[in-house]
């Protein structure tokens, strides 16, 4: 087993006034050669965006992008003709493929927006761009992991062009949950959204993360009620 620990306070940080951003991996003006990626996981940004503010139309290509609003709602528009609002409880995916242009704004004029935006390296390059969003029921992740994103085009999950699984769970203090990577070549990146857990001998609090690989399974002991985001991701670039 191999592991890395990323403490919340050790993340990169940039406060632009309208955007308060924390970077788990090197991004924009933040660069740490020890924190460039975790396998195919390239970007994990924890952004708070001021009311009515956001990112104007800008391009992406050959990257798998997952947006998870935690509080508030995102207003999305792209050159594929997609336009809408993604609120807390929803998940948005975008396979940028051979190229897409989009904008993201806080949909509220009065309340801040907090979201995770996560980028994963693509499996097949230059595919036709793809966009989707889906609302997930909180009751379906009580004391278990709910699959949000997978490489399989199955009902109830969102598809991405990579062998990656995104899982979200709400766990009660005292619970223990085990997780096995879907593929032997995959690792697990666990972000504590809220709460406190113990994983592989490490105590993790709010916004702490652990990356684990070369494992058959890992056990998670819930020390306080916790919301956990677990990304099952290929380790080979």
Work out the average pLDDT over 210-234: 98
CATH number for the domain spanning 174: value is 2.60.120.10
Q: Measured at the alpha carbon of residue 43, what is the angle toward residues 110 and 103, in degrees to the nearest 5?
A: 45
The total of structural domains in the chain comes to 1
Task: Answer yes or no: are the C-beta atoms of 41 and 120 closer than 8 Å.
Answer: yes
Task: Answer yes or no: are the C-beta atoms of 178 and 212 closer than 8 Å.
Answer: no
So what's the pLDDT on residue 155? 80
Beta bridge partners of residue 219, listed in sequence order: 178
Q: How far is CA 234 from CA 3, 40, 122, 147, 207, in A?
A: 15, 6, 11, 17, 22
Total Cβ atoms within 10 A of residue 117: 20
- The three state secondary structure string of 136-174 is CCHHHHECCEEEEEECCCCCCCEECCCCCEEEEEEECCC
Cite the beta strand spans of the chain per DSSP E: 2-6, 12-15, 19-23, 41-49, 54-60, 63-71, 73-78, 83-87, 90-95, 100-106, 113-121, 130-135, 145-150, 158-159, 165-171, 176-179, 186-199, 202-204, 209-213, 218-234
Categorize the per-residue pLDDT at 70 as very low, low, confident or very high, splitting at 50, 70 and 90. very high
Closest Cα to residue 204, out of 112, 150, 212? 212
Torsion from C-alpha of 141, 143, 144, 147, nearest 10 degrees: 20
SS3 126: coil
Categorize the per-residue pLDDT at 63 as very low, low, confident or very high, splitting at 50, 70 and 90. very high
Tell me the per-residue pLDDT of 128-186, one tens digit each, with 9 for 90 and over: 999 999 999 999 999 999 999 999 987 899 999 999 999 999 999 999 999 999 999 99
d(CA 63, CA 70): 22
Domain of 129, in residue numbers: 2-234
So what's the pLDDT on residue 231? 98
């Amino acid at each position: 087993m191999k592991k890395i620990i990323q403490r919340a306070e050790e993340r990169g940080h940039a406060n632009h006034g309208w955007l308060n951003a924390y970077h788990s991996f090197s991004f924009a003006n933040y660069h740490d050669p020890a924190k460039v990626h975790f396998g195919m996981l390239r970007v994990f940004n924890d952004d708070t965006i001021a009311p009515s503010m956001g990112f104007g139309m800008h391009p992406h290509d050959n990257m798998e992008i997952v947006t998870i609003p935690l509080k508030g709602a995102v207003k999305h528009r792209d050159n594929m003709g997609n336009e809408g609002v993604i609120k807390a409880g929803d998940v948005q995916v975008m396979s940028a493929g051979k190229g897409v242009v989009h904008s993201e704004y806080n949909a509220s004029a009065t309340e801040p927006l907090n979201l995770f935006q996560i980028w994963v390296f693509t499996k097949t390059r230059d595919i036709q761009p793809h966009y989707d969003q889906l609302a997930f029921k909180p009751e379906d992740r009580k004391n278990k992991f709910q699959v949000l994103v997978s490489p399989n085009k199955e009902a109830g999950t969102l598809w991405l062009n990579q062998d990656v699984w995104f899982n979200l769970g709400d766990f009660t203090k005292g619970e223990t949950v085990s997780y096995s990577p879907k593929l032997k070549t995959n690792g697990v990146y666990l972000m504590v959204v809220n709460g406190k857990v113990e994983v592989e001998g490490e105590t993790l609090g709010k916004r702490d993360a652990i990356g684990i690989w070369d494992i058959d399974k890992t056990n998670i002991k819930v020390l306080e009620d916790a919301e956990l985001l677990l990304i099952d991701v290929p380790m080979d670039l």
